[in-house]
Structure 1
């Protein structure tokens, strides 16, 4: 494999070259570049498998480098390092699928761990790429008929009557026994936790593949049922009662969760049923799904069918609203998200986090946000009514992962809107631009204020201070300027021009026009025509 080191500081590149035992991690070539342009040129000689790059360089940043690499479609692992911890840098790096983000001075142990992680992720992605090419082949194997049978059993497509089940077994020429019992293992993952690098079909294949290999100890899919329900993706594994012991099943399920986290980059949760007759498996599946739906705090673990999620009697939990208010005022996005994450982790450690507490925290957090925005005269509902915000709000009720995604979105939008509201010149410019784009419509100040997420009264005050005009005066002034051009350059009637510039009646248009120009539209057109003829225009 090849590695490329990019940093404008030559001694740093030299240290990196000598610091890591590259051959131990499978690298037989390490190239160097000291700016983005040089690095891009070197790609023509051979695409590296791993890029280690400084973010801040004088001739092109590391962010520009990774963006270029992703746009070219190159499959490179990527490690960033920088002198300055920055929430924006880290967030942008994550959005371009960087493998690690390290701070200088570089620690050898952390750097080697990052290299190991990047190499492992790269190998897995490439393996999954091969799986994707052949992912549909598993549907054509000899277990297709049996897999279809178990799907019909679990989804109640086949009646739970034993005689009808036996009839289906004979009709499909299967060797399944109805007189024995079966164990159902249900593995679940939130759809929202699936890495964006996966498309749905490939992930489902990889999830089913891993579940079969670990739980059945073979890569066949005759006893695997993959399906989606609401916000969850499930893989059900059906085992014969005497296949293995309960202890062995729990060990395999624990390994499955570990490998899902390591290779699929998501948190899996497993539920193991008691041994049940074949005609009761559909009901068992429904019961395990109910357990999964109610499980907020005990995810990422293995649970039996009759596990009771023991929780300490919850103490009343009050979010530190004063502290969060201060952080919002100071626009500390990273601290807000990190502190919220820490609060939730402390509740988990105390066995105090469940759906009700999560809902209380969410509403208290929103209360802080709405109070801050109200003081800044920002209309909060305008920020969070889009589809993404609404979806995350709903999902945040049952998943810590989705809760943090929702909190991150709310924090980002709130802080950026506060910044924007504090730049009055920018706000007025946006309001003026909105008027220019919509002056032909029946426009009012409420619509203009909504376009910049401010209350009408506050925008009116800022607008007057900045321009010396009310929004209505500015609108009329802009409309009349447009009307003047039409009167000179077109043959449209006065009535048509009135409508084209947003006035409902000719009389009101004429009144405003005369007030601002000192003459009627007809008089203005006649004078301009006379002047043009006189000047030979």
Structure 2
């Protein structure tokens, strides 16, 4: 605890400081002031628990000090007043401010000790009461958090089929968990989501964005900030909220209006596009079926355009005609006009978006069209495109291409760059055949053939065989065998290995085949060659 002594007589202040064993009362800090204004400055900074103050002082007397504390402090400290003149008027006014004691100067030490003890007891009661209040508030907050967790865990169990059963069986679960959930009502399931990869650079973290979205969604959908019915989760690039809304709370039209308000509010303040899919009213025991149905519907809808869609919305089966000219795109690829290609695609996407047709289904079709055009271009050069784009980066960008316009442009940019890199490889001095030769030179001792080599350079096997023979006059097998025979001759000249070990070391599987090939290339058997050279 802290004590402030206020008196214009320094000797009185010193006497009080020296006469009391403060630590025995649990008082750790003592402050002194010599008039009311000085006292108010210390009170504002230190917030003392007990104030011992003279009444008669210059500048601001004790009664004015009481008035100033009453006006500025949320809670008054315990007050002990000192005075040289007994006055009923002073005492009566002091009582209005809840003064603990009123001492006449000069006073004995025992008198000060008695009133100080009373004030300390009152302070401890206040502190204990505040601690109890804070403890109760903390317990209530913890209980509320536990209730929120239990409710969200229950809903998650229903959605993911971890909790199943009849209404009677679900009632037992609700009762066991001590949560309040009306199982006899039907609920609209509102699935709200946005693409996290599409967000612009911002000052808010993902956690802050999620917190704001949950609060706004709760207030819009439930008319209050109540998190216990809001389940959030992440799937792919999407951050989702699932909000069950009782059929008794809101009509279908009213719920759709709330969804539109939520989309507008989040778009305006957080600059992200929300999409919302709403189920028809369903019973809690059927939550899982409704949940997965609208999840699949959301996948088709996407967040390319912000909108509300109902589970029973009629899916238009309009025939989608590709907005792209395949030949125009191929020509831009041939001429390496990447910027023109990207601008062209971006403009077409924006035009479809303005028409209100840019959804998940359309994005999927565009994705497939673009991919096929690039793959076809590569295949014309004998390059197996599907082998080129099997790595994790390619798969990730391809999977995300349909999520947003930004993701689509990133994917096209990546396709273009990888395509140009591959084409450059084929045109350098280190051409296709050069690459194949290097690969064979490095791996001839392994069990390699046409298919393994073609896979390594991402070329169709038949195309590779044809090109290799046209440029070298040899088949792949002939070139491999020539490398093996050269290596075998080197080993026979420089080592004492027997012919079987040499054959295996250079890539032949058995000595008879090694001998046959060796004689074909050298005109003599391996043993004859070794004897002659030896």
What is the 5 A alignment of 1:98-113? none
1:161 Cα offset (Å): 4.5
Distance 1:447 1:138 in 2: 64
Partner residue of 1:212?
Answer: 214
1:330 Cα offset (Å): 1.2
Q: Is the 8 A contact 1:254 1:302 kept in 2?
A: no
1:487 Cα offset (Å): 1.4
1:320 Cα offset (Å): 0.7
State the secondary structure of the residue aligned to 1:143.
Answer: helix
Q: 1:293 to 1:366 in 2, by over 3 A?
A: closer
1:379 Cα offset (Å): 2.7
RMSD across aligned positions (CA): 4.4
Does the alignment pair 1:256 with 2:266? yes
Partner residue of 1:435?
Answer: 440
Distance 2:201 2:440 in 1: 39
Distance 2:143 2:391 in 1: 39
Partner residue of 1:223?
Answer: 229
Q: Which deviates more from structure 2 when the two are superposed, residues 308-317 or residues 143-152?
A: 308-317
Does the alignment pair 1:489 with 2:494? yes
Distance 1:138 1:514 in 2: 89
Q: Is the 8 A contact 1:181 1:275 kept in 2?
A: yes
What is the aligned residue count? 383
Distance 1:466 1:149 in 2: 70
1:471 Cα offset (Å): 3.8
Partner residue of 1:89?
Answer: none
State the secondary structure of the residue aligned to 1:271.
Answer: strand
- Residues 312-335 of structure 1 show CA distances to partners (whole Å, capped at 9, x for unaligned) of 955644531221111111123333
Distance 1:447 1:312 in 2: 45
State the secondary structure of the residue aligned to 1:425.
Answer: coil
Partner residue of 1:271?
Answer: 277
Q: Is the 8 A contact 1:189 1:233 kept in 2?
A: yes
- Larger C-alpha radius of gyration, 1 or 2? 2
Partner residue of 1:308?
Answer: 313
Q: 1:192 to 1:503 in 2, by over 3 A?
A: farther
Q: Which deviates more from structure 2 when the two are superposed, residues 488-497 or residues 286-295?
A: 286-295
Partner residue of 1:289?
Answer: 295
Partner residue of 1:376?
Answer: 381
Q: Is the 8 A contact 1:257 1:270 kept in 2?
A: no
Distance 1:315 1:167 in 2: 51
Partner residue of 2:334?
Answer: 329
- Residues 385-410 of structure 1 show CA distances to partners (whole Å, capped at 9, x for unaligned) of 45665566566567666655554443
What is the 5 A alignment of 1:109-258? 143-159=148-164, 161-178=166-183, 184-189=189-194, 208-217=210-219, 221-227=227-233, 233-238=239-244, 242=249, 246=255, 247-248=257-258, 250-257=260-267
Runs of 5+ consecutive residues of structure 1 not aligned to the other structure: 1-136, 530-537
1:439 Cα offset (Å): 0.7
Runs of 5+ consecutive residues of structure 2 not aligned to the other structure: 1-141
- Residues 282-337 of structure 1 show CA distances to partners (whole Å, capped at 9, x for unaligned) of 555345324313315x6442415367378695564453122111111112333333
Q: 1:301 to 1:371 in 2, by over 3 A?
A: closer
1:260 Cα offset (Å): 5.8
What is the 5 A alignment of 1:44-123? none
1:140 Cα offset (Å): 6.8
Distance 2:299 2:428 in 1: 45
Does the alignment pair 1:350 with 2:363? no
Distance 1:459 1:158 in 2: 58
Distance 1:302 1:151 in 2: 25
State the secondary structure of the residue aligned to 1:146.
Answer: helix
Does the alignment pair 1:477 with 2:478? no
Instruction: Using structure 1 for the length normalisation, give the TM-score.
Output: 0.58
